[in-house]
């Protein structure tokens, strides 16, 4: 099993949830009002007067065979609006309770 951590502009919220549902991924944990900025480019998302945009994040644990199709759809979504900001990271899950 793998964990996919997805950090995204709040404007993507519905789209990311729908993307996971299309892949049969029901379970996830979402964080709202995440602040930060990208490592390479893009505007900061600080939720302030000067930088009002905020991010959200989702962590979902998936079967190994779902990772690549989900990442492909995330990459496609990101390419459609590069200025918004969307990243995904994958970790191995070694134990589960």
Helix (H) or strand (E) holding 6: strand 2-9
Helix (H) or strand (E) holding 88: strand 86-92
In this prediction, residue 2 carries a pLDDT of 97
Our CA angle for 94, 37, 21, nearest 5°, is 50
pTM, 2 dp: 0.89
In this prediction, residue 71 carries a pLDDT of 98
DSSP-derived 3-state class of residue 10? helix
In this prediction, residue 58 carries a pLDDT of 98
Please, what are the domains in the chain?
A: 2-92 (3.30.70.120)
pLDDT of the chain, 97 residues: tens digit per residue: 999 999 999 999 999 999 999 999 999 999 998 887 776 777 777 767 777 678 999 999 999 999 999 999 999 999 998 888 899 999 999 988 8
């Amino acid at each position: 099993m793998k964990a996919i951590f997805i950090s995204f502009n709040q404007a993507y919220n519905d789209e990311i949830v729908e993307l996971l549902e299309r892949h049969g991924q029901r379970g996830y944990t979402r964080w709202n009002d995440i602040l930060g900025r990208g490592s390479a480019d893009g505007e900061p998302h600080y939720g302030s007067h000067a930088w009002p945009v905020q991010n959200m994040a989702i962590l979902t644990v998936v079967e190994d065979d779902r990772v690549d199709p989900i990442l492909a759809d995330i990459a496609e979504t990101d390419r459609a609006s590069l200025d918004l900001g969307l990243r995904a990271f994958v970790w191995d899950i070694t134990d589960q309770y």
